[in-house]
Amino acid sequence: MRRLSVPIRCEFSFHPRDPYAVTLIFDAEGEQPVRWVFSRELLNEGLTARVGQGDVAVWPEHGSDGASTMWLQVGNARHNALFEIPALPVAQWLASTYALVPRGQETADVDWDGLTLLTE
The DSSP-derived string for 63-74 is -TTS-EEEEEEE
- The answer to whether residue 88 is domain-embedded is yes
The pLDDT value given to residue 70: 94
The pLDDT value given to residue 20: 92
The pLDDT value given to residue 5: 74
Q: Buried b vs exposed e over 10-46: b needs ≥16 C-beta within 10 Å? A: eebebeeeebebbebbbeeeeeeeeebebbbebbbbb
- The answer to whether residue 5 is domain-embedded is no
Q: Is the pLDDT reported for residue 43 higher than 80?
A: yes
The pLDDT value given to residue 3: 66
Residues of the domain holding 95: 10-115
What average pLDDT is seen over the chain? 84
The pLDDT value given to residue 52: 93
Q: Is the pLDDT reported for residue 38 higher than 70?
A: yes
The pLDDT value given to residue 120: 45
- The answer to whether residue 17 is domain-embedded is yes
Number of domains in the chain: 1
What CATH number should be reported for the domain holding residue 55? 2.30.31.20
- The answer to whether residue 48 is domain-embedded is yes
